[in-house]
Chains A and B, each alone.
Chain A
């Protein structure tokens, strides 16, 4: 187990360096960010040169990357064009997005798995067909449509919620945005759980458990569900990263000032420091989430052992 974790951690190093380098190059290919700083006119040459020098843009790209990575390892993610430290931007953006992601994940787990179990146990019944149709609709409608529709109905027509989230972004205001963010994944979780449950219901160990005379509840929760959750856990684990990085659309619709907002702003203003910094952290989140998922397998399925 210990050796496995160490090996996985070592594998992360090249992945981390490769992905940050790619992002760095991609933002650089977009051209000179100083050009967009002076409104509808060119910056005067003196100021432009000075700004380039200060942001290190006058050096060759490989050197910029080396300096940047050197700074990152000392915890300095650079400064955004508006004079704020990128770490300062992160400290305001990440808590909000983490809260939103947690809300989304919780909704995914609670609603998705419940629906999956119910439909998996009642295959072919009206409940199953109904939920299946529902998930089909959710998967095929783009997130921004769901988001705008819910915002208009709940926020403006019926006045149940605030159409936009306040700057503090408390959890209760994040429920509807979280639902929108989770909607597509939620549908997938439902379907995955359903298939998995339906399949395992016919397996030997479930038959044995039933034959032993265990109560139905115990059979479903301890034996059936635990084994059926493996693909679902994989999905949810990789989804954490996707939700955090993919919240751009949802955050924009509900005016949430999280990671998606900072990334959007950073890309528009071609702010290398912001974009690379945030993506670096997202890459780390992805890698760690994947590792945790792999380790969870062993907990869920006693047959899996790591050496």
Chain B
């Protein structure tokens, strides 16, 4: 068996050598031609940019697409990529100018590539799950009404000026809009996407540093370096083979036995030996993910005068430091605000904004909960889905911590739900009677993305139905503000409103973790916890 594996590997290497000499381009030598293998999960949706809302599909899109902007993998700053410039004078009308760029099938990336793609993504009939990203663009309510059929096919706010220019009119002022354009949903699409849709889905074609060589749905995708890629972030390896693993434990075992080069999800059970197994080939870097405990503000028991004291008390009863150290072994960091460290101080992250409310203070916790009228129903039941992640362990730990702090062994229990779909179902019906687990992975590195979708009145992910006029007003003002520091100040003021009412308890910032084989170097995870594939060197 070993023999066949070796033979196959040798054949693969031979094929690659042929490719390398055939192209005869650029880097030369062995660097840049070797292929690495990486763990993957089966994407939940078809690989359309506006339909991919999870990290596994996002991984592929990040390799084969480049949008107007790209988030710097290190600093998370949005930088112009296919865009030459995105200009506005009033935060509502934007003019986008493009660089000369091509799709890997030779087609030119034009203003129309973007406008058609965005119209497709926004249109109700295409069932695109990221459609709401186009919700700021004028005319969205016509192409994507909340109910009934659409009365228009294209967004009235988009206008093609010439091949390299188009304009965007928003339905409200939103100064952060250019910074959202690095999200995959805003990627341009070639004509083949519209004319030969099924064939395109079998083998997507984009304008990024890699092209897809073959795709066996549900098991493997092989990507190759696109030699003629026009951008500055050319791949430094010959390609990437993504292999679907059902269980991240198997992927880890494969890494240990030299069968796999890169895993971007270390199983919780292996965290205690990962350092001795991998040494400095273990990566653990902050990602734009925050875990919180949300509350059903629609439930009268949790929404009466003094309830905020109970919520703050519960927050103070959680020993975040101990839980992150013992259960997560440093792969999560105690949260001290409602955003993420990856934003950076300039981007709105403000450590310590939560203040003493996020410290472990059992005595004060008991006092506050008593003042607030006690826990509704006498017991906190934290609902979570038990099928993925290691939610059970930490929910139990949080409950233990609360029980210890309150000196009541029955103050808090976990309430597991079998599947994620069922869990989302129960949340969506707004029938929760107690707090529930809530995780948020940012779509784009902006403080706005950590606040507005989660806490604005009736926002898309405001699962607890929290509503506060001051918060809404501050967010509106911040979005309209063209001066960046002033906008940040307003966002942070809004975050203070969240804190004072303890709309949700911040628990910890989640890190991305990964490990790689000795063949690789220059491996890093970006703020979305996706490996920065193009930069990886294979020896």
Contact = CB atoms under 8 A, between A and B. Distances in A.
B45 A41 contact: no
Contacts of A89: 218
Nearest to B258: A159
Interface string A29-60: 01111011111111111110111001000000
Interface string A157-170: 00111111001001
A82 B46 contact: yes
Nearest to A44: B132
Contact of B440 (A35, A40, A170, A255): A40
Given A46-B124, A162-B257, A269 B421 contact: yes
A268 B419 contact: yes
B526 interface: no
Contact of A31 (B147, B250, B422, B460): B422
Interface string B396-428: 000000000000000000000011111111111
B440 A252 contact: no
Given A163-B250, A257-B244, A172 B421 contact: no
B157 interface: no
A167 B217 CA distance: 10
Interface in A75-90: 81-84, 88-89
Contacts of B201: 83
B145 A268 contact: no
Contact of A40 (B131, B421, B439): B439
A251 B251 CA distance: 13
Nearest to B289: A40
Contact of B419 (A151, A160, A267): A267
A156 B245 contact: no
A270 B44 contact: no
Nearest to A176: B1
B172 interface: no
Contact of B421 (A36, A162, A251, A262): A36
Contacts, number: 170
B254 A47 contact: no
A36 B124 contact: no
Nearest to A253: B250
B425 A35 contact: yes
Interface residues of A, number: 56
A64 interface: no
B100 interface: no
Interface string B237-273: 0000001111100110110110100000000000000
A50 B421 CA distance: 18
A47 B217 contact: no
B427 to A, nearest CB: 8
B2 A159 contact: yes
B256 A156 contact: yes
Interface string A237-267: 0000000000000011111010001101101
Contact of B460 (A41, A54, A161, A262): A41
B450 to A, nearest CB: 13
Contacts of A160: 1-2
Interface string B119-144: 00000110111011000000000001
A147 B228 CA distance: 46
B387 interface: yes
B518 interface: no
A31 B417 CA distance: 12
B46 A40 contact: no
B75 interface: no
Contacts of B125: 50
A255 B250 contact: yes
B218 A92 contact: yes
A294 interface: no
Contacts of B131: 44, 46-47
Given A81-B45, A89-B218, A255 B428 contact: no
Contact of A172 (B1, B44, B218): B1
Given A31-B422, A255-B245, A46 B2 contact: no
B419 A270 contact: yes
Contact of B129 (A37, A152, A162): A37
A45 B54 CA distance: 19
A87 to B, nearest CB: 13
Contacts of A42: 424, 427-428, 460-461, 463
A142 to B, nearest CB: 16
Contacts of A251: 246
Interface string B52-67: 0110000000000000
A99 to B, nearest CB: 15
Contacts of B216: 92, 167
Given A31-B421, A40-B439, A47-B127, A156 B253 contact: yes
A253 B247 contact: yes
B42 interface: yes
Contacts of A161: 1-2
A267 B422 CA distance: 11
Contacts of B89: none
B346 interface: no
A41 B257 contact: no
Contacts of B2: 159-161
A173 interface: yes
B27 to A, nearest CB: 29
Contact of A44 (B146, B419, B438): B146
Interface of B: 1-2, 4-5, 42-46, 53-54, 124-125, 127-129, 131-132, 144-147, 201, 216-220, 243-247, 250-251, 253-254, 256-257, 259, 387-388, 418-428, 438-441, 453, 460-461, 463
12 contacts: A35-B427, A46-B144, A47-B131, A82-B42, A152-B253, A159-B257, A164-B254, A167-B219, A173-B1, A261-B218, A264-B246, A268-B419
Interface of A: 30-33, 35-47, 49-51, 54, 81-84, 88-89, 92, 151-152, 155-156, 159-164, 167, 170, 172-173, 251-255, 257, 261-262, 264-265, 267-270
5 closest residue pairs by CB, A with B: A36-B421, A41-B461, A83-B46, A167-B219, A35-B425
Given A164-B251, A268-B387, 18 more contacts: A32-B428, A37-B44, A38-B53, A45-B147, A46-B131, A82-B42, A82-B45, A156-B253, A156-B256, A161-B2, A162-B257, A164-B254, A172-B1, A173-B1, A252-B246, A254-B250, A255-B245, A261-B246
